[in-house]
């Protein structure tokens, strides 16, 4: 029987760690002037306390090359800096693996040669109740740091801001950006994600949270689209990320301590602990439930894609006529679908394709299938068959 550690490694294949500005029950804070955190050229702009504290430490660590700070030192220095600034929030780090806290802090692992990608989200909620002032600056300061210190290329950084210039951080756009990040990442790549905005808590409806609440991120259009729950983030980002990818995530928002549902935890609360642990309250049943949700989500997405693609295929390929071989129809669709979705790892069996054809046949009274599989009432459009590549196209 697999141990809890083995189960986690199997279920979460990537090396994921998240730094949060506060515990689940705490709120984060805006700092009115990031100059108090000595950011490079802050120009008097507002910024999030967590992001500003972390950047101050990381810039200082980059400048002082005599000794690299460890993960533990970075988190504890964040706590000390926040406390000095009058903030009571306690930074913490969660991970998919128990990070060696005495090891040098890194975003890019030593010797990494993979692509470096980032998703940076800053939401000020301008014109809405509870508007913030520092979140755009957080994202822009983090972008500058990643490019200047870690060599991230601008074309590999997705920036979502409600500033009227960049992509708007709606719920749909955030999911689109996450899915793009997951789809393009490969083993050996490095990913950094950053959210600066409002976080929240809602009542847990399925009983998988020990505290009775789901932690959430608040998109700019939350009043219309709703919030993004920790379960949503697991099924879209954590679960499907490829094995061998290193991801660091910074969550500068309220109630964000466990918003990615990662099992291992370190709190910079001054208790003297120097080890990431899996809390007793974190159950493997909870993790298994998230995995089930993830697979159900992927199954539903796959089914929707299959049906959409077959409709497009049938509209393009099948014309009223005397008839054709049903096997030819199935093979054409199967080949075309798998050529189109091979990079995403989507494959179809012959029987699944035949079932789609049968469902389409039931919806068209002029079509029928003989016992020998001859498809009557429609024929294959010859102008849509590519001689050198048996697939379909519009």
Q: Select from 254, 282, 310 the last residue of a domain.
A: 282
Q: How far is CA 54 from CA 21, 27, 117, 228, in A?
A: 9, 17, 19, 25
Contact 378, 323 (CB under 8 A): yes
Model confidence pLDDT, tens digit, residues 178-213: 989 998 999 999 999 999 998 887 766 655 555 566
Indicate if 348 and 252 belong to the same structural domain: no
Q: How confident is the model at residue 11 (pLDDT cuts 50, 70, 90)?
A: confident
Residue ranges in 197-267 assigned as alpha helix (H): 222-225, 230-233
Residue 257: is its pLDDT beyond 50?
yes
Indicate if 217 and 309 belong to the same structural domain: no
What per-residue confidence (pLDDT) applies to 32?
Answer: 41
Residue 66: is its pLDDT beyond 90?
no
What per-residue confidence (pLDDT) applies to 324?
Answer: 81
Domain assignment of residue 60, yes or no: yes
What per-residue confidence (pLDDT) applies to 203?
Answer: 66
Positive/negative CA dihedral, 219, 197, 274, 282: negative
Q: Which of 136, 198, 255, 379 is catalytic?
A: 198
Distance (Å, whole) CA 139 – CA 132: 13
Q: How confident is the model at residue 371 (pLDDT cuts 50, 70, 90)?
A: low
Q: How confident is the model at residue 256 (pLDDT cuts 50, 70, 90)?
A: low
Indicate if 276 and 309 belong to the same structural domain: no
Indicate if 174 and 312 belong to the same structural domain: no
Contact 16, 249 (CB under 8 A): yes
Indicate if 32 and 160 belong to the same structural domain: yes
Q: How far is CA 233 from the centre of its chain?
A: 6
295 counts as catalytic: no
Indicate if 119 and 198 belong to the same structural domain: yes
- Beta strands 116-122 and 199-203: pairing type? unpaired
Contact 97, 180 (CB under 8 A): no
Indicate if 29 and 110 belong to the same structural domain: yes
Structurally, the chain folds into a number of domains equal to 2
Domain assignment of residue 275, yes or no: yes
Contact 79, 90 (CB under 8 A): yes
Domain assignment of residue 292, yes or no: no
Domain assignment of residue 392, yes or no: no
Contacts of 263 (CB under 8 A, 6+ apart): 4, 8, 12, 94, 95, 96, 278, 282, 287
Q: What is the mean pLDDT of residues 352-356?
A: 87
Contact 260, 18 (CB under 8 A): yes
Q: Select from 282, 312, 336 the last residue of a domain.
A: 282
136 counts as catalytic: no
Indicate if 228 and 337 belong to the same structural domain: no
Model confidence pLDDT, tens digit, residues 282-312: 776 777 777 777 777 778 888 888 889 888 8
Model confidence pLDDT, tens digit, residues 339-348: 887 766 677 8
Please give the model's pTM, rounded to 2 decimal places.
Answer: 0.74
Task: Say which CATH number the domain at 39 has.
Answer: 3.40.50
Q: Select from 282, 317, 335 the last residue of a domain.
A: 282
Contacts of 394 (CB under 8 A, 6+ apart): 312, 316
Distance (Å, whole) CA 87 – CA 90: 9
Indicate if 210 and 124 belong to the same structural domain: yes
**Nearest-CA neighbor of 200 among 163, 247, 237, 232?**
232
Contact 148, 62 (CB under 8 A): no
Give the range of the structural domain holding residue 319, as residue numbers without chain letter. Answer: 301-384
Indicate if 223 and 333 belong to the same structural domain: no
Q: Which of 254, 255, 324, 379 is catalytic?
A: 254
DSSP string, 316-368: HHEEEEEEEEHHHHHHHHHHHHHHHHGGGT----HHHHHHHHHHHHHT-TT-E
Residue 83: is its pLDDT beyond 70?
yes
């Amino acid at each position: 029987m697999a141990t809890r550690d083995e189960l986690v490694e199997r279920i979460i294949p990537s090396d994921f760690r998240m730094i949060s500005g506060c515990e689940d029950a705490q709120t984060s804070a805006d700092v009115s002037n990031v100059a108090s955190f000595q950011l490079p050229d802050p120009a008097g702009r507002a910024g999030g306390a967590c992001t500003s504290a972390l950047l101050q430490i990381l810039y200082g660590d980059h400048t002082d090359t005599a000794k690299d700070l460890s993960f533990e030192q970075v988190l504890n220095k964040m706590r000390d800096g926040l406390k000095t600034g009058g903030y009571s929030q306690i930074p913490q780090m969660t991970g998919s693996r128990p990070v060696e806290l005495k090891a040098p802090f890194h975003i890019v692992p030593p010797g990494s040669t993979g692509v470096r990608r980032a998703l940076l989200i800053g939401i000020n909620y301008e014109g809405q109740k509870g508007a913030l002032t520092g979140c755009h600056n957080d994202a822009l300061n983090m972008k500058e740091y990643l490019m200047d210190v870690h060599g991230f290329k601008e074309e590999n950084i997705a920036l979502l801001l409600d500033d009227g210039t960049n992509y708007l951080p709606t719920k749909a756009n955030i999911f689109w950006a996450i899915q793009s990040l997951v789809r393009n990442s490969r083993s050996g790549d490095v990913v950094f994600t950053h959210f600066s905005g409002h976080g929240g808590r809602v009542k847990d409806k399925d009983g998988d949270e020990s505290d009775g609440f789901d932690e959430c991120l608040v998109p700019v259009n939350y009043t219309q689209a709703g919030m993004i729950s920790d379960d949503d983030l697991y099924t879209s980002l954590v679960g499907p990320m490829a094995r061998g990818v290193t991801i660091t995530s910074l969550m500068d928002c309220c109630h964000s301590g466990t918003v990615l549902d990662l099992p291992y935890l370190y709190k910079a609360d001054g208790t003297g602990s120097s080890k990431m642990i899996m809390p007793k309250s974190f159950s493997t049943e909870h993790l298994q439930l998230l995995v089930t949700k993830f697979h159900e989500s992927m199954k539903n997405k796959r089914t929707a894609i299959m049906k959409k693609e077959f409709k497009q295929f049938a509209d393009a390929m099948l014309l009223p006529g005397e008839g054709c071989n049903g096997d030819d129809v199935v093979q054409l669709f199967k080949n075309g679908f798998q050529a189109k979705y091979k990079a995403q790892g989507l494959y179809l069996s012959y029987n699944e394709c035949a079932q789609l054809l049968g469902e389409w046949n039931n919806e068209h009274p002029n079509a029928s299938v003989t016992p020998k599989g001859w498809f009557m009432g429609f024929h294959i459009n010859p102008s849509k068959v590519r001689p050198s590549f048996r697939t379909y196209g519009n």
